[in-house]
Structure 1
Amino acid sequence: MKAFLINKYTKQGLQLADVSVPKIKDNEVLVEIHASGLNLLDSKIKTGEFKLILPYKMPLILGHDLSGIVKEVGKNVKKYKIGDEVYSRPADFHIGTFAEYIAVREEDLAPKPKNISMEEAASVPLVALTAWQALVEIANLKNGQKVFIQAGSGGVGTIAIQLAKHLGATVATTASAKNFDFLKELGADILIDYKTQNFEQILQDYDVVLNNQDNKTLEKSLNILKKGGKVISISGPPTPKFAEDINANGLVKMITRFLSFGIKKKAKKKEVHFTFLFMKANGKQLAEITKLIESGIIKPVIDKVFPLEDTNKALEYVESGRAKGKVVLKLK
């Protein structure tokens, strides 16, 4: 099968190669990939930015999102059969969706929403699971609360805004003014032009912040929270708890303690809570997201679709930061 991979950490493009179709284990499903979503995480893994916490073996096929059709099932698989349409964010160390086939653990799969295309489905898993784990699992966001979702027109932002509105929250977000109408349609209540406005001067007494920007923006976010509020960061810095959760070695635990010390100290001083989120694959949560998509509560947002052979062009576009919603590869 065709696949885009790296043989070492690099800032160069991915290599197109012919590799063997994966052999499935008893708890796995072989999926013929019809579409694959791209994420900035793919670029960060490619350059080695995450090699301490995600020490992958080479060669490595990249890609964290897929939709497709089940072609083979392991003998212990109970929920899926050949021909089923599925989608997934495969677990860490089981990635590889920039390819024609992939072996996915049954627990990481969910039925593809029936009312959207394969390309739309492939755009969903990583960003929707991130939004779910931040707003539902960690924040426990309630009706009537206020949430600030940074970079609303990005992949996570477009889904998080819709999910937060479904949960009954007032939603503020940052974007360029040209995207304001689009974000209002998704449900954003308060729109802040990051080029000309300072969100610190506009927002106050917020319950939750979903941070996906730099540390300077993260520190500013502490100032808009009410006492007991929560800032959940998906862009760092990682914490010792995260290091424990991934069974990291002592060196990584020490590094995360150093990296997160400053922000944790400032959060404690302001009597708010800081959490670092590195989303996890979760088929059960993705099945809940399927229900929200099929009921029209969440709608995928796609900027561009590229063919598999243009994977490097697609990844460059993701890295540019210009995408509104998600970028997807179409294989079938």
Structure 2
Amino acid sequence: MQARSRQPGAGGSRAVRLDSFGGPDVLVVREVAAPQAGPGQIRVRVTAAGLNPMDWIMTADADTAARFGLALPAGFGTDYAGVVDQVGDGVSGFAPGDRVFGGALSRAVADFVVVDPAGGIAANEAHHTPDGVDDRTAATLTIAGRTASAALAAIDPGPDDTVLIGGAGGGVGVFAVQLARIAGARVIGTGSATSADHLRSLGAEPVAYGDGLADRVRALAPGGITAALDLHGTETVHVARELGVPDSRVCTIAAQVEGVAAGNGANAAPGALEEIARLVAAGRLRVPLAGSFPIEQIRRAAEFQAGRHVQGKVVIDLRVG
């Protein structure tokens, strides 16, 4: 039996491709054959794709790409949102016309993606987009939301906690700050001087990173901090240790420190992503959009995102008929 489809499966589509690994300059938009949903798969007409640091990190060189199972020619981007266009044999719970979001590892910036919604593998997945969540926002949730959820689970913040979050204004920080606040914790977030208002808007008390951070945190929290997330490197880990936080209540995502847990979005608890989407739909969690770009401006978008001082998320808009 052929896949059920709202539109004919044949024909071309656009996709960002890399013929060599490297920086944003290697990204090109190509006409490719539209993928087809096989048994157990769905095809999604992508309306928006969110960018993350991991997108350009894992395609920067061949050795790193190989660790993620990528080979040339490769695609780009993982977070997507769109509409189910085709449903393969054996799929239940999804039908053509359903709005969905999820992850398609290094192939999301394309008019179509094919994923296995029941496979249980992060970055090859689909989830129903709740009413009240627009596609641009839905396209930002998967990688950053999973990572923030896994990192917070490692430190388990609650109403009695004061949490220091390093790199609080970045893509993962947007979620981590708000989820920690929803859990009842007080949050102090590190960032640049220009990010202070952004951090306050998320619910964090801003503090400048760099030399003297420990003293500035002491001044903000004379009673001490009780947990910490380092979303950028290791500075926050070292400050947390200096301030007496036990390693069991410290977590990193971008570096490995002996004795400290490393948060991995692939290990987020079942249902974590759906819960984040529900919080967005309920108006309890918001995702600031730092910029949106058409697919033809993928290089410009990747350069903007790779600047690492983006306040919020970056999205590629895909115009499909």
Amino acid of the structure 1 residue aligned with 2:14? K
Deviations 1:128-186, CA, capped at 9 Å, x for gaps: 111111113x2232232222111222111111111110011111101223332332222
Coordinate RMSD, CA, aligned: 2.2
Answer yes or no: is the 8 Å Cα contact 2:58–2:65 preserved in 1. yes
Deviations 1:192-245, CA, capped at 9 Å, x for gaps: 0226751455247433321122345543343234336422111023xxxxxxxx
Question: What is the aligned partner in structure 1 of residue 27 from structure 2?
Answer: 14
Answer yes or no: is the 8 Å Cα contact 1:10–1:46 preserved in 2. yes
Amino acid of the structure 1 residue aligned with 2:82? G
CA separation in 1, counterparts of 2:22 and 2:305?
A: 17
- 1:313 deviates by 0.4
Alignment equivalent of 2:156, drawn from 136, 140, 150: 140
- 1:37 deviates by 0.4
Answer yes or no: is the 8 Å Cα contact 2:55–2:106 preserved in 1. no
Deviations 1:270-289, CA, capped at 9 Å, x for gaps: xxxx1122322877322111
CA separation in 2, counterparts of 1:139 and 1:79?
A: 34
2:283 is the counterpart of 1:296 = yes
Alignment equivalent of 1:38, drawn from 47, 51, 64: 51
- 1:45 deviates by 1.4
Alignment equivalent of 1:129, drawn from 146, 166, 171: 146
CA separation in 2, counterparts of 1:228 and 1:96?
A: 36
Alignment of 1:188-207 (within 5 A): 188=204, 190-194=205-209, 197-199=212-214, 201-203=216-218, 205-207=224-226
CA separation in 1, counterparts of 2:146 and 2:83?
A: 21
2:197 is the counterpart of 1:181 = yes
Deviations 1:278-330, CA, capped at 9 Å, x for gaps: 32287732211111111111111101110010011000001112311011111
Structure 2 CA distance for partners of 1:223 and 1:79, relative to 1, 3 Å:
farther
Structure 2 CA distance for partners of 1:135 and 1:179, relative to 1, 3 Å:
same
Alignment equivalent of 1:110, drawn from 106, 114, 127: 127
2:318 is the counterpart of 1:331 = yes
Deviations 1:28-65, CA, capped at 9 Å, x for gaps: 21000000001111111121263353131221111111
Q: TM-score, normalised by structure 2?
A: 0.84
| SS of corresponding position for 2:246 | strand
CA separation in 1, counterparts of 2:135 and 2:148?
A: 21
Answer yes or no: is the 8 Å Cα contact 2:146–2:265 preserved in 1. yes
CA separation in 2, counterparts of 1:56 and 1:302?
A: 28
Structure 2 CA distance for partners of 1:281 and 1:2, relative to 1, 3 Å:
farther
Alignment equivalent of 2:262, drawn from 261, 266, 276: 276
CA separation in 2, counterparts of 1:13 and 1:316?
A: 12
Structure 2 CA distance for partners of 1:218 and 1:196, relative to 1, 3 Å:
closer
| SS of corresponding position for 2:67 | coil
Amino acid of the structure 2 residue aligned with 1:194? Y
> Which moves more between the two structures, 144-153 or 321-330?
144-153
Question: What is the aligned partner in structure 2 of residue 208 from structure 1?
Answer: 227
Answer yes or no: is the 8 Å Cα contact 1:35–1:122 preserved in 2. yes
Structure 2 CA distance for partners of 1:228 and 1:205, relative to 1, 3 Å:
farther
- 1:111 deviates by 1.5
Answer yes or no: is the 8 Å Cα contact 2:79–2:139 preserved in 1. yes
Deviations 1:1-26, CA, capped at 9 Å, x for gaps: 11111123223331221212122232
State the percentage of identical aligned residues: 24
| SS of corresponding position for 1:152 | coil
Question: What is the aligned partner in structure 2 of residue 315 from structure 1?
Answer: 302
| SS of corresponding position for 1:134 | helix
Answer yes or no: is the 8 Å Cα contact 2:150–2:267 preserved in 1. no
| SS of corresponding position for 1:46 | coil
Question: What is the aligned partner in structure 1 of residue 5 from structure 2?
Answer: none
CA separation in 1, counterparts of 2:192 and 2:157?
A: 26
| SS of corresponding position for 1:232 | strand
CA separation in 2, counterparts of 1:89 and 1:81?
A: 18
Amino acid of the structure 2 residue aligned with 1:191? P
Question: What is the aligned partner in structure 2 of residue 164 from structure 1?
Answer: 180
CA separation in 2, counterparts of 1:298 and 1:217?
A: 24
Structure 2 CA distance for partners of 1:28 and 1:284, relative to 1, 3 Å:
farther
CA separation in 1, counterparts of 2:192 and 2:115?
A: 38
| SS of corresponding position for 1:165 | helix
> Which moves more between the two structures, 112-121 or 295-304?
112-121
Question: What is the aligned partner in structure 1 of residue 4 from structure 2?
Answer: none
- Where does structure 2 lack aligned partners over 5 or more consecutive residues? 1-12, 119-124
Answer yes or no: is the 8 Å Cα contact 1:113–1:294 preserved in 2. yes
